[in-house]
Chain A
Amino acid sequence: MAQLNRHNVREGLQRFGPVKLRIEVAKLAKRVAELEDEVQECRRDQHRLAELTDIVQELLVPLSRRDQAAVDEVLAKYTEQLG
């Protein structure tokens, strides 16, 4: 077995350093792709939240007034006007 000394440590680093670096870069690239996916997932919630808030807000007032005729009217108009 070779003796561990400054010379063969440097040689080992030169031989294996680039491999380690490549592994590190590959890991980071994978992490960046994961983060991109996560960012996109978060962004997509904006649309869903807007849709939910929109219909809830339109319905809340007649619902809180327990005004069934107004609820029916809001629902009918809401669905008729969807484009």
Chain B
Amino acid sequence: MATASVERVDGDGIVARTAGEDVVVDVLFDGRRIWSFWVLRDGEALPGGGDRFIPWPKRLGKFLDGSARVELRAHVDDTVLHDQEHRFGTGEGRISIVDAHGRPVGIDNDGRLQRTFETRSEAQTAPLLDSVERILDALHGIGVAAFPAYGTLLGAVREGRLLGHDSDADLAYVSRKTVPVDVIRESYAIERRLADLGYRIERYSGAGIKVFVTESDGSVRGLDVFGGFYAHGHLMVMGEIRVPLPESAVFPLGTTTLEGRTLPAPADTDAFLTATYGPGWRTPDPAFVYETPRTTYLRFNDWFRGTRVNRKDWDRRYLGHRRANPRRKPPTLARWVQEREPTDVRIADIGCGRGGAARWLARRGYDVLGVDYAPTAYEFMTEWAAQRPDLRLRFAMLNLLELRHVLGWGARLAHEPGTHALMARHVADAVPAAGRRNLWRLAEMACGPDGRLYLEFLTAAADDDRWVHRHLLHPLDPELVVHELGERGGSVVERTDSGPDARGRTTCRMVVAWHS
């Protein structure tokens, strides 16, 4: 049995050593596990001996101000390696590691602070399990043989319960399709079938979706459903698994028991869990980290991913403002639209963000559609608009990185009666090249011979301009924009290059038209 010893615990971290093999250690504050680490894997070798220094995780740092009884225990055999009262920083009180609502949180294996299952009561996890059953039933109802996967399957098979250090439930299915293009098409069909049943879906990749359910207390939970398939003798499951495995390891599905509930499971759970976590899956490892081979993630990236570039950053930014009213002052580009377009022109604000400019135009009599790939952005404005039926203002999701979004919306707008003007402020300079080309495609489809595209983008900025970094902008060469638009039949009918302003930014505004 591998053993470890702890030399020191202080405000910087922990100094420990092992005699031989690596050891996974739980860290408890006042009797509650808040984090786990591997001594060798996560430790930095200290000079002159076998000591390892393991720094506190970044996200715990802000809590380390006060006192706590710190226990370190070897996770596997529960040996106590350290048990002492410690004082960190200058704080007087007890250290309390909780979220903004005062609920206990811990560090999960991705290094994030989460409400892990060990901090929740049975009554608190019951709604999650209800949701798991509901979504599994819905998927089976539409012919998708889904089952709990990753940590949820591991917990069920190894312990019959949710893993204490886990914080969410994962589901997966293995498609009978063998070519990525068919796997993706099937995933789109699944998305539509679930939407027909009333579920809200968020797409993570060509083969991964999140399904949202409203729980009994009214809170909304999203469960990941990972698509998988067999090809060339390999089982592949988004996002980590690609291993040689016979189909008999999955089909026909068997069952497993999770917290007393019988759920579907791969036929050979041992083989499936070995494929997921390696042969050591029976040994608990609360600090498990995937080491996905480069060849696997490159395949998954190329086949399925690339449609959510920067999405996490935008979601994080909008989350804090989702209930706040956006500013009323219109951007210059909205004024350009107002000065040049009569109010019977329909406006589509592409990349509308929080919807302030869309509202400003709607208030001036236009019929306005705001679209963005981050729906959190326009959440407030959607509710605001719903209470004002006299305004013609609506919002929808459109991801310029997904061709079907662009083709679908392009065709829809083209068919709506009247002339369309599209407005895209700091979109062309925010999206990758593929998204920018899709913006031109969308404009070409929606504008037709009478409509116009209003563009605003940065053409230069200082390297250390924080506003530019915060908005994830990359200045564009206006000649490139003119060239790309020309390739799609668009011509610039008006253009203003302004700046540099006091911060060194130069901006280009354009009006583009398509002539038949």
Question: Do A and B come together as binding partners?
Answer: yes
Interface size on B, as a range, is 35 or more
A83-B191 in contact given A47-B306, A55-B408 (Cβ < 8 Å): yes
Q: Digit string of A50-63 for contact with B (CB within 8 Å is 1, else 0)?
A: 11111100010000
Judge whether B209 is part of the interface by a CB distance below 8 angstroms: yes
A46-B180, A53-B181, A75-B411 known; A83 vs B397 contact (CB < 8 Å): yes
In the complex, which residues of chain A have a beta carbon less than 8 angstroms from the beta carbon of B298?
Answer: 40
Q: Does A76 contact B (CB under 8 A)?
A: yes
Quick one: given A55-B404, A72-B415, A79-B412, are A44 and B203 in contact (CB under 8 Å)? no
Contact B206 A54 (CB under 8 A): no
Interface status of A64 (Cβ within 8 A of chain B): no
Residues from chain B with a CB closer than 8 A to the CB of A80 are: 396
User: Does B69 touch A at the CB level, under 8 Å?
Assistant: no
Q: Does A81 contact B (CB under 8 A)?
A: yes
Contact string, B197-227, partner A, CB cutoff 8 A, digits 1/0? 0001111001001000000000000000000
Chain A nearest Cβ from B107, distance in angstroms: 30
- CB <8 Å contact, B303 and A76: no
Residues of B within 8 A of A2 (CB): none
Q: Whose C-beta in chain B lies nearest to the C-beta of A72?
A: B415
Residues of A within 8 A of B202 (CB): 83
- Please tell me if B409 contacts chain A, counting CB pairs below 8 Å: yes
A47 and B396 within 8 A (CB) = no
Complex: A48 Cα to B180 Cα, angstroms = 11
A79 contacts which of B302, B306, B408 (Cβ < 8 Å)?
B408
Alpha-carbon distance A83/B373, docked complex (angstroms): 9
Contact of B206 among A39, A50, A78 (CB under 8 A): A50
Residue of A nearest to B200 (CB): A83
A46 touching B184, Cβ below 8 Å: yes
Q: Chain A interface secondary structure, helix, strand, loop or mixed? A: helix
B206 x A47 contact (CB < 8 A): yes
Rounded to whole angstroms, the CA-CA distance of A81 and B264 in the bound complex is 28
**Which listed residue (A43, A59, A71, A83) contacts B303, Cβ 8 A?**
A43
Q: Indicate whether B440 reaches chain A with its CB closer than 8 angstroms.
A: no
Say whether B142 faces chain A, with CB atoms less than 8 Å apart.
Answer: no
Are A81 and B195 also in contact (CB < 8 A) when A46-B184, A47-B184, A75-B411 are? Answer: yes
A47–B191 contact, CB under 8 A?
no
**Contact between A79 and B415 (Cβ–Cβ < 8 Å)?**
no
B276 smallest CB distance to A (angstroms): 23
Contacts A46-B303, A47-B303 given; indicate if A81 touches B191 (C-beta within 8 A): yes
**A49 beta carbon closer than 8 Å to chain B:** yes
- Name the B residues within 8 Å of A44 (CB-CB): 302-303, 306
Q: How close is B350's CB to chain A, nearest CB, in angstroms? A: 14
Cβ B302 vs Cβ A54 within 8 A: no
Residues of B close to A55: CB separation below 8 A? 404, 407-408
Q: A1 near B: Cβ within 8 Å?
A: no
CA distance A52 to B408 in the complex (A): 10
Q: Does A4 contact B (CB under 8 A)?
A: no
- Chain A residue at minimal CB-CB distance from B183: A50
Q: Least Cβ distance of B352 to chain A in Å?
A: 15
Q: Is the CB of A48 within 8 A of B302?
A: no
With a cutoff of 8 Å between Cβ atoms, the chain A residues found around residue B103 in the complex are: none
Residues of A within 8 A of B302 (CB): 39-40, 43-44, 46
Q: What are the residues of chain B within 8 A of A49 when measuring CB–CB? A: 181
CA distance A52 to B307 in the complex (A): 15
Q: Would you call A21 an interface residue if the criterion is a C-beta within 8 Å of the partner chain's C-beta atoms?
A: no
Q: Does B398 contact A (CB under 8 A)?
A: yes
Bound form: Cα–Cα A46–B229 in Å: 14
* A 5-63 contacts with B by CB, 8 A: 39-40, 43-44, 46-55, 59
Q: A50: shortest Cβ distance to chain B, in Å?
A: 4
Q: List CB contacts (< 8 Å) of B444-501 with chain A.
A: none
Residue numbers in A under 8 Å from B206 (CB-CB): 46-47, 50
- Chain A residues lying within 8 Å of B405, measured Cβ to Cβ, are 79, 82
Contact indicator A50/B412 (Cβ below 8 Å): no
User: A residues within 8 Å of B by Cβ?
Assistant: 39-40, 43-44, 46-55, 59, 71-72, 75-76, 78-83
Contacts A46-B206, A55-B404 supplied; 4 other A-B pairs, CB < 8 Å? A46-B303, A49-B181, A53-B185, A83-B397
Instruction: Give chain B's interface residues, CB within 8 Å of chain A.
Output: 179-182, 184-185, 188, 191-192, 195-196, 200-203, 206, 209, 298-299, 302-304, 306-307, 396-399, 402-405, 407-409, 411-412, 415
The 7 closest A-B pairs by CB, nearest first: A43-B302, A50-B184, A83-B201, A46-B180, A81-B195, A51-B403, A51-B404
A–B complex contacts, Cβ < 8 Å, 5 sampled? A50-B181, A50-B182, A50-B185, A50-B206, A82-B405
